[in-house]
Each structure stands twice: as C-alpha cells, then as structure tokens.
Amino acid sequence: MKNRLTNFTIYLSILYTVTMLSCGKALPTKESLKSEIFEVESQFCDYVRQHGIAEGFAFFADDSATILRGRDSLIKGKNAIYHYYSNPQYLGAKVDWKPDFVEVSKSGDLAYTYGHYTWKVPKSNADTLVVKGIFHTVWKRQTDGTWKYVWD
C-alpha cells in the first residue's frame, strides 16, 4: 500500500510538472519574484512623483489596504487613503523611497519590503520640513497578476 501511495505521489508530481510546462508558463523563481517587487516599488514611487501622493497611494493600494500613520492611527481602505492624502498639507509634499530588502512567500502571492524614505513638506515660511525614516510595505498579488500593497 505504501509503495502504491509513493508511486501515485510521484505520478502526480510528474503530471503537474508536465501540465505546467505544456501551458508554456515557467514557474517563477523566488529571485524573479523579488525583482518584480523591486520593480513595483520603483513604479509606485515614480507614479507618486508624477501624479501626486493621493493618486499614487490610492492607485497602488489593494481595496482593503491599511496605512499606519502617526500616533498609531490607521487609515483603512483605498478611498480613505486617497482622502487622507488629499489633505492640503500633502499637496506640495514630495516623498521618495527605495527598498533595502524584499522577501517573497513560498507561494509567490505575498511579499514584503522595507527601506528608507524621505518626506519633504513645504512650510508657509518658505522652509521645507524634511522627515526621514524606515518604511515597511506588505504586497499581495492580485487575481490579474498585478501587485497591490495591503499594508504600509
């Protein structure tokens, strides 16, 4: 019985591999998925530079995304995130970041990054407030294959 089960398991493994290969889709490697996430982070940052903080953070957010902000407050949901960053204090603000580290789950549908960010917020007296820190983002692969953040 044990021998039959082992043979059956081997058969299923071979069948799965042949099926995946015949579909023409190679299984992504962990390194290729990490590269994808680095690229998504770069696209996210570029989008924010081009379209503004509210548009960018809403565009890359999963519908159920949550952002942790000062005083341990949470902003939950894409619409709330857009509304939060539509505050006039963010209209002239600039933010820049780059991940220092990326990790991807074995299943390839979740990932997280962390790295350094810099916020530059113009003040009314022509000065600029500069805030530097560490960010942490959790990414989730969507059903269409794109990545959206679920936590920032």
Per-residue pLDDT tens digits for 84-124: 999 998 888 999 999 999 999 999 999 999 999 999 999 88
Q: Looking at residue 39, what is its pLDDT?
A: 98
Domains of the chain: 28-151 (3.10.450.50)
Question: SS3 string of the chain?
Answer: CHHHHHHHHHHHHHHHHHHHHHCCCCCCCHHHHHHHHHHHHHHHHHHHHHHCHHHHHHHCEEEEEEEEEHHHEEEECHHHHHHHHCCHHHCCCEEEEEEEEEEECCCCCEEEEEEEEEEEEECCCCCEEEEEEEEEEEEEECCCCCEEEEEC
40 with 32: CB under 8 angstroms? no
- What are the pLDDT digits (tens) for 1-51? 555 545 555 554 554 554 555 455 667 899 999 999 999 999 999 999 999
Using DSSP's 3-state secondary structure scheme, residue 1 falls into: coil
What is the pLDDT, as a whole number, of residue 131?
A: 95
Q: What is the pLDDT of residues 133-149, one digit of tens each?
A: 999 999 999 999 999 99
